[in-house]
């Protein structure tokens, strides 16, 4: 019913243990694809009935790695899960999400994403403007926080299923047919922003749903905030993204964001 894909790069088994145990515990997950963008000294020899190991041709990006699994296996499943290697969840929470998705017509679903302490990570978001992204790093925290109130939909009640144009990429549950029609990730994005790009394409063509009745834990470290190398990669991807979709003028962004906020204003 569900195939899950994880891209690894220099990850140890310990890094993935909680994620793998969570995935293995879910009865609806029939296969877990480990796509190795490096040369792991454990994954190729790891034995589990649900695990399939794929060695990529090199570290050509997060989206590139997942696309290998998507193209090879998505046609075999009803649902396809793009999963980060730092996720943990209770299997009953996942089954709740799966049952919900199977009874909907949309293409992409995201549960509530929280930190280990239960704090909300606000996985349902509007499509960002350049100001949303760059304010977080280069402008005052008070101004960035004000912008985030809108961008992260913090002022709305998200307890009911809602349409959101950007669903965070750490745990994206797709209808397999929709994911294949979208051709997976745009591999021009090496790292960062590829989830926003794919999410908005799915939102436009099939629809996205945020489902807060199910919950998963994301051990999110925001590496680009502490690493100059990762920060440069994030900025480079942001430039690629806005070059693709538009900087100031992005009609599609306005339409999808308005669709999201209007439904929330009517329901709150």
For 176-234, what is each residue's pLDDT tens digit?
Answer: 999 999 999 999 998 899 999 999 999 999 999 999 999 999 986 654 445 778 888 88
pLDDT of amino acid 140: 54
pLDDT of amino acid 145: 74
pLDDT of amino acid 137: 64
Strand segments, DSSP code E, in 65-207 are 79-83, 87-88, 108-114, 124-125, 166-167, 171-175
Q: Coil, helix or strand for 195?
A: helix
**Cβ-based neighbours of 214, under 8 Å, separated by 6 or more:** 93, 94, 96, 97, 100, 111, 112
The distance in angstroms from the start CA to the end CA of the chain is 35
What is the distance between the alpha carbons of residues 235 and 51, in angstroms, rounded to a whole number? 34
Tell me, what CATH number does 201's domain have? Answer: 3.90.550.10
- Could you tell me the strand order of the sheet in which 171-175 lies? 51-55, 29-36, 2-8, 79-83, 171-175, 108-114, 208-218, 87-88
Q: Which domain does 158 fall in, by range?
A: 2-267
Residue reference for tokens 């993204």: 241
Residues of the chain with pLDDT under 50: 223-225
pLDDT of amino acid 141: 67
**pTM of the entire structure?**
0.95
Contact predicate 108/202, CB 8 Å: yes
What is the distance between the alpha carbons of residues 235 and 213, in angstroms, rounded to a whole number? 34
If one counts the domains in the chain, the total is 1
């Amino acid at each position: 019913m569900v195939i899950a894909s994880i891209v690894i790069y220099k990850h140890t088994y310990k890094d993935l243990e909680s994620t793998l145990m969570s995935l293995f515990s879910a009865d609806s997950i029939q296969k877990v694809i480990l796509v190795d963008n490096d040369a792991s000294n454990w994954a190729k020899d790891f034995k589990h009935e649900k695990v399939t190991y794929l060695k990529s041709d090199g570290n050509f990006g997060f989206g590139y790695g997942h696309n290998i699994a998507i193209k090879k296996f998505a046609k075999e499943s009803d649902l396809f899960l793009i999963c980060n290697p730092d996720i943990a969840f209770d299997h009953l929470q996942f089954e709740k999400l799966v049952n919900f998705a199977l009874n909907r017509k949309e293409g992409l679903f995201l549960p509530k994403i929280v930190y280990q302490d239960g704090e909300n990570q606000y996985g349902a978001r509007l499509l960002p403007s350049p100001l949303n992204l760059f304010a977080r790093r280069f402008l005052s925290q008070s101004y960035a926080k004000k912008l985030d109130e809108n961008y992260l939909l913090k002022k709305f009640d998200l307890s009911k299923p809602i349409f959101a144009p950007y669903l965070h990429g750490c745990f994206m549950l797709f209808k397999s047919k929709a994911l294949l029609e979208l051709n997976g990730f745009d591999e021009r994005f090496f790292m960062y922003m590829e989830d926003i790009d794919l999410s908005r394409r799915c939102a436009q063509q099939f629809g996205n749903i945020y489902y807060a009745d199910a919950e998963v834990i994301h051990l999110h470290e925001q590496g680009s905030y502490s690493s100059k190398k990762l920060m440069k990669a994030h900025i480079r991807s942001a430039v690629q993204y806005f070059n693709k979709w538009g900087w100031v003028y992005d009609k599609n962004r306005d339409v999808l964001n308005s669709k999201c906020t209007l439904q929330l204003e009517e329901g709150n």
